[in-house]
Amino acid sequence: MVVNRIRAFNRFYTGKIGLITNRFLKSKYSLVQARLLYELSHASPLHAADMARDLGLSADYLSKTLSKFESEGLITRTPSPKDSRKQVLNLTQTGRAAYSKLKETSNLHISSLIETLTPEEKLDMVNAMGRIEEILTPKKGGLVTIRSHRPGDIGYVIHRHGVIYAREYGFNAEFDAYVANGMAAFIENKRPTEHLWIAEIRERFAGSVAIVGHDAHTAQLRWLIVEPEARQRGIGKQLVKQAVRFAGDNGYRSVILWTIDFLDSARHIYANSEFQLVETKVSQAWGKTLTEECWQLNLG
C-alpha cells in the first residue's frame, strides 16, 4: 500500500510540474539535460566522471550528452591539469544563457501552480516537502538547536505528547488533559525560575523539556520528549543537561522528576545524568496500570 501510494504521488507530481513529456517544460532539453545544465551552473568547473557518479548516469550516456552540449556551444571540455585522463567541464556564456532561460521558465511554471494558495498552504506544502526530504536522506546527525519556547510551542508540545504516548504506549486522551493542565499552570505562573526549551533540527520540532518549581528549594523536570525520528542523536541528554544547568543557576538545591518504569531510554538518560531512583508507586492512569518512579538529583 505504501509503495502504491508513493507511486501515485509521483505520477501526480511529475504531471503537475511538466515532466511527463520528453522535453523539460516544452524546451529543447530533456529532464536529464536540464539537470546537467543546473549542476554545471552551480558548481562549474566539474569533472565528467564526478557528474556521472553523483547523478547515477552511465559514462556512455553522459559522454554523448556532453558532446551534444559542446557542439551547441554550451560547454567547453578540457583535460584536467592534475590528471589528464579527466575532463574539466565549464559552461560557456551561451550555456549560462540557456540555463537562465530554463530557470526562468521553471520559476514561472511553479509560481503559476501555487498562485492561488494561501500563505499557510504554501508553508504547509514546503514543510511537507522538507519532511519527505529529511526522511529519505540518510541520517548524519543534523544540527540540533535548543531554544526557549515561544508562542505556538505550548499547544504543539501538548499535541506531540498526546500523539506519541498514544501511538507508542496506548495512553488515552486523559493524558492529553494531564499535560495540558500542567502546561497551562506553567504559562499562567510566568515565574523567572521556570522555563521550557524546544529542540529543533532544521527548524523542525525535535523535542522539549521544562523546569518548574516543586517547592522553594526543589525544581521538577517535566515534559521531556524526543520525536521518534530524532532519537539516537543525544537530544534527550542535551535537553536534560540544559534543564539541570538552569535549575542550578536559579538556586535550586535539587531536581526531581516522575517517569514510568518502561520508559527505558529516558531512565537511561536520568541515570547517566546522576539522578537517583528514590520512590516508586503503582497507579491507574491514562487507561493503564503503571509503575511510576520518582528520580532525584542533588545539586550540592
Residue 42 has pLDDT above 90, yes or no: no
- Average predicted confidence (pLDDT) for the chain: 90
Q: What is the pLDDT of residue 141?
A: 57
The fold of the 2-116 domain, in CATH, is Arc Repressor Mutant, subunit A (1.10.10)
Q: What is the pLDDT of residue 62?
A: 87
| Segments of the chain assigned to CATH 3.40.630.30 | 144-298
| Between 21 and 51, the higher pLDDT residue | 51
Buried b (16+ CB within 10 A) or exposed e, 48-85: beebbeeeebeeeebeebbeebeeeebbbeeeeeeeee
Q: What is the pLDDT of residue 139?
A: 63
Least confidently predicted of 35-39, 78-82, 166-170? 78-82
- Give CA–CA dist 13/19, Å, rounded: 9
- Give CA–CA dist 198/227, Å, rounded: 11
Question: Rg for the chain (alpha carbons), in Å?
Answer: 27
In tens, the pLDDT along 245-266 reads 999 999 999 999 999 999 999 9
Confidence class for position 199, pLDDT limits 50, 70, 90: very high
| Segments of the chain assigned to CATH 1.10.10.10 | 2-116
Instruction: Name residue 237's amino acid.
Output: K
Residue 140 has pLDDT above 90, yes or no: no
The fold of the 144-298 domain, in CATH, is Aminopeptidase (3.40.630)
Q: What is the pLDDT of residue 250?
A: 94
Residue 227 has pLDDT above 60, yes or no: yes
In tens, the pLDDT along 145-169 reads 999 999 999 999 999 999 999 999 9
Instruction: Name residue 245's amino acid.
Output: R
Residue 21 has pLDDT above 80, yes or no: no
Angle at 126 between CA 123 and CA 130, to 5 degrees: 135
Q: What is the pLDDT of residue 115?
A: 93
Q: What is the pLDDT of residue 134?
A: 75
